[in-house]
Amino acid sequence: MSSFPEYLSDALSSYGVDVIFGIVGIPVVELADTVISKGKIKFYGFRNEQAASYAASAYGFLTGKPAVLLTVGGPGVIHALAGVYNSISNKWPLLVIAGSSEDTNRGGFQELDQVSLLTPYIKFTARLDSSNVDETLYNALRQASLGTPGVSYLDIPGNVFAQKCLEIRPRSPRPLRAVKFQPPDADLKAVAKTLRSSKNILCVIGKGATDSAGEVRAFVQKFQIPFLPTPMAKGVVPDSSNLNVSSARSLALRSADVVLVLGARLNWILHFGEAPKWKKSAIFIQVDTTAEDLGHNNRLGLTYSLCGDIGHTLRKLTLSLGSFSSSGVTADIRKNIVANQGKLRAKEEAVTAKLNYNQVYALIRRHIVDRNTFIVSEGANTMDVARISFPTDYPKQRLDAGTNATMGVGLGYAIAAKLAHPSKKVICIQGDSAFGFSGMELETAARYRLGLVVIVMNNSGIYHGASEVGDTKSHQPRNMVSTSLTTDCRYDLVADGLGCRGFLVKSLPELNTALEMAFKLAEEGLPALLNVIIEPGRQGKLEFGWQNRSKL
């Protein structure tokens, strides 16, 4: 016989779980302590379940296997719903394990029917006890991993932690390898015929294609098809490719006759596939493993949809296309790319009284080697400008707010990236508003000696900072707008107090020196934060960048 925490810990380890994120409390502290004492799984304790849930969510994406989030019941689960929703919407695998009250309908400690709460929205829910660990854990991991990745939840009543399991060790794990499939030959031939007869083809690459990077690269290169990555699909095909039309995104969308959509949804990020951003007559060929997404927001419905593994599908489509070659990037789009890249360089080289996004990002680029660098960007303008300022030739090395435009993911994602790839530099670039959602996790990074470099783009506000309209520094609420934050708030001092090293930066020379020191400290396992004071930005009515201009 073995104790329930020991048995569950061994079972998780047998399925390859190597990291658990969370916050302990009664009763789940027993499982966390058991995991730590056994040494096969590392437990990382956060300061807030929300940040822990985002870290677990991203870890699942980066590693391709379910990450585990451990929380207390009641409010702990409620706080963790952020990561649950994030995993659902991004199609990332996540296993949530939480304690619960054994008392029902009596006002028990943190009593909440978490199984009923989550069942309508996630892929699998179950209540664990000492007799069902093997079968239930297998089903939870299977559901989270296979088909469309998503969320499973395991509920553990408090009294179960004191139970004994009849077996000494768990059963041998069952395989969780995904079954890959491809579309029928007739569908592939119909799509090939459409591609061969089209004039301007555009390949849109979504984050659902990141695990098929080799096949996508080969396909795009062989047929010379212009491509456009969505933000977290950057690097699936190298951004340095001459087929990349990101710098002429608006013109590329308007010009495309046929759009091959790989692992992306025709949602708000792609303007729902509608005019005027796209041609009204554009044909969208959707390729995805999730059948429910095919035909959605597509005026032609399922006519040109291909349901199957993206890698397998592209290999078969390559055979159907034979010696076909597209017309490549048109002269008009090439001209637009050159012009827009010139405008970006001019912004980066401009001399201004205060620092701005473009100047700061240009200097950061000089300090990094693309292959060895993860960049997490979070914020409004901070993220919007970062998307065009940090190209990459490697998949899964650019993380941002994703499908939900979620604020609060930054430090959780950065910690997950460092744990998934400890030898690589991890830079977390956040707006000052975004930093406020999860800033306490600097202490988490310091406690576990995770050498992150956090760069806070401090414009003293949300979207833009206050100008003469309010005096936030002297705490006078006179006409203070809703987007105002404290002027030049000292986030660097906060970092010092949380066990990190903080730097206040107001000029390019100061930024250069701070970056050099920060990267050296990061190599030693000490997180650093650069509080970069930038111009407040334009004042006026707030507008959402993706609705008003097309950029990545």
Which CATH architecture does the domain made up of 2-165 adopt? 3-Layer(aba) Sandwich (3.40)
d(CA 96, CA 99): 10
Using omega within 30 degrees of 0 as the cis cutoff, is the peptide bond preceding 27 cis?
A: yes
Give tens-digit pLDDT for 248-300: 999 999 999 999 999 999 999 999 999 999 999 999 999 999 999 999 999 99
d(CA 202, CA 193): 16
Q: How confident is the model at residue 541 (pLDDT cuts 50, 70, 90)?
A: very low
The domain made up of 350-548 has a fold known as Rossmann fold (3.40.50)
Tokens of 120: 């309508």
- Parallel, antiparallel, or unpaired for β 19-22 and 201-205? unpaired
Q: How confident is the model at residue 464 (pLDDT cuts 50, 70, 90)?
A: confident
DSSP state of 532: E
344-358 average pLDDT score = 95
CATH of 185-333, one of 1.10.10.10, 3.20.20.70, 3.40.50.1220, 3.90.1010.10: 3.40.50.1220
What is the domain partition of the chain in residue ranges?
Answer: 2-165, 185-333, 350-548
Look at residue 552 in the predicted model and tell me its pLDDT. Answer: 37
The side-by-side arrangement of strands in the sheet containing 306-307 is 227-229, 201-205, 258-262, 283-288, 306-307
Look at residue 477 in the predicted model and tell me its pLDDT. Answer: 60
Residue 526 confidence (pLDDT) above 60: yes
166-171 average pLDDT score = 87
398 neighbors 392 (Cβ within 8 angstroms): yes
Tokens of 42: 């590392």
Q: How confident is the model at residue 467 (pLDDT cuts 50, 70, 90)?
A: low
Residue 145 confidence (pLDDT) above 50: yes
Give tens-digit pLDDT for 441-457: 999 999 999 999 999 99
Q: What percent of the chain has pLDDT over 70?
A: 95
Tokens of 238: 């190298």
Backbone φ and ψ for 238, nearest 5 degrees, come out as -55, 130
Nearest to 68 by CA among 177, 180, 148, 154: 154
Give tens-digit pLDDT for 86-105: 999 999 999 999 999 988 88
d(CA 1, CA 521): 47
Residue 543 confidence (pLDDT) above 80: no
The answer for residues whose C-beta is within 8 angstroms of residue 91's C-beta and 6 or more apart is: 148, 149, 150, 208, 290
Give tens-digit pLDDT for 6-37: 999 999 999 999 999 999 999 999 999 999 99
Look at residue 100 in the predicted model and tell me its pLDDT. Answer: 95
Look at residue 537 in the predicted model and tell me its pLDDT. Answer: 77
57 neighbors 90 (Cβ within 8 angstroms): yes
Matching CATH topology for 2-165 and 185-333? yes
